[in-house]
Structure formats: structure tokens, C-alpha cells
Amino acid sequence: MEDDEAESPIPRFASRGRAYVYVLPCRDEDLLKVGFSRDPLQRLRTLHARFFRFFDLDRALLVATDSVRDARRIERRFIEAFAERRSPAPLVVPDAAAGYTEWYRGAYADAETMARAVCVDEGHTLHAPLRDWLRTVFGERSALLFAWSAKMLEAIEYERFNAPPSMTPSVLERALRDGLDCFDELGIDIEPLVPGPVFRWYREN
């Protein structure tokens, strides 16, 4: 659904010149992902469709830099510092997105310390915890949630009446559920932001 994606309230965030180094600890195990991206939100989504539950947003962080060159250089510092703590990527992360040399075990405390020191030494902005940054960005896009969710539910209902029945959620159902769950996880009340039928669908499914 290219048109729906373009209007999705789950935003793309690439800004001219700016790049971000991310430190993303997993929620349920002592494992983290380090890397850089022009668009950290899109990167999160490629790593896991339900990134907001897979990663610990209260410990995750971003270092905002003014250029990709700076972000690459800082990422390299992390890679070199934690080379001996490399770990395989989790099986649930798609192979194409895994970044096999950038997963580390037992490195969170040192990674956080390094990120904070880099920001102090070089004047970069630290976004920690990541939950607060995400909440701000999603809040700015909340006005789009009404129309997007209505179109998604319309497509789901069309699919329901015109496709063979299935015991598992469709791609559209998962996309709508994930989008609404993300707002909910960030503490943004979705009830006033979506049509009544969408909110009922969400609570009943």
C-alpha cells in the first residue's frame, strides 16, 4: 500500500545532512544493536516490525550528529571498543536488516557511558531515553492517524468480505495493529485520534 505508507502516522524522519548513531538494547535479553542511520525510525522498523516491544525504549538512545561522516566515525568507535563482545543477531531480526557485526552482548553500560561522553566532548545532542524522542515525533504526526487508520480499516473490511477466511491476521491487520500498538506503547491516547470503528476494532481484536 504505497499511498497509505506515504500518509502513515508512523513517520519517516530523514533530515538534510543529519544522521543518528543508535544504541538499542533488547528488552528481554542482554543484547544490543549499534549503528547509524539518517532515518532511525525506518531503521527500527526494518529491525523488527514491533520494535517498540522488542527493544527497551527506556534504555535505548540516539546521538544526533550534523553529518553522516560524524555518525560513521562515532559508530566505528563503538565497533572497535566492543569488538570482543560481538554476538549473533537474534533470529527474529530479518537477515537483510541484521547488520551481523553490530550486535553486542554485555555492553550496554559501557555503550551508554561512551555515548554520553561523545556528546559532551563533541557537542552532539543526546536523546535518552529513546522513548521520549519517539513520543515527541509520533505526537507531531498524530493528526495523520485518523485518516490513515480509517483507510486501513476500510481495506481490512473489504479483504474480510472478499478473501478466503484465515485463522491468522492479514498483512493489513498486522500493520494497523502495530501502528496503533506503537502509539499506545508510547503513552499516546489513541481513542480521540482515530474513528470510533477503528478504536472498537482495536479493543476487540
Residue 7 lies in a domain: no
**What pLDDT digit, counting tens, does each position of 48-88 carry?**
999 999 999 999 999 999 999 999 999 999 999 999 999 99
* Listed range (16-20, 185-189, 195-199) with the worst mean pLDDT: 16-20
Selected residue with higher pLDDT from 166 and 70: 70
Residue 106 lies in a domain: yes
Residue 42 lies in a domain: yes
Total-model pTM = 0.87
> Amino acid identity, residue 123?
G
Residue 35 lies in a domain: yes
What pLDDT score does 176 carry? Answer: 95
Name the band, by pLDDT with cuts 50, 70 and 90, for residue 6. very low
Give the three-state DSSP class for 23.
strand
| Residues 100 and 175 both lie in one domain | no
Residue 4 lies in a domain: no
Residue-averaged pLDDT of the chain: 90
What is the mean pLDDT of the segment spanning 17-42? Answer: 94
Sheet of 19-25, strands arranged across:
103-105, 31-37, 19-25, 61-65, 125-127
Specify the number of domains making up the chain: 2
| Residues 123 and 159 both lie in one domain | no
* Listed range (42-51, 54-63, 187-196) with the worst mean pLDDT: 42-51
Burial (CB count within 10 angstroms: exposed 0-12, middle 13-18, buried 19+), residue 29: exposed
| Residues 122 and 44 both lie in one domain | yes
Name the band, by pLDDT with cuts 50, 70 and 90, for residue 141. confident
Name the band, by pLDDT with cuts 50, 70 and 90, for residue 99. low
> Amino acid identity, residue 190?
I
| Residues 35 and 127 both lie in one domain | yes
| Residues 99 and 127 both lie in one domain | yes
Q: Give the C-alpha separation, 66 to 121, whole Å.
A: 15
| Residues 105 and 73 both lie in one domain | yes
Q: Give the C-alpha separation, 40 to 3, whole Å.
A: 21
What pLDDT score does 164 carry? Answer: 79
- Segments forming the whole domain that contains residue 29: 19-137
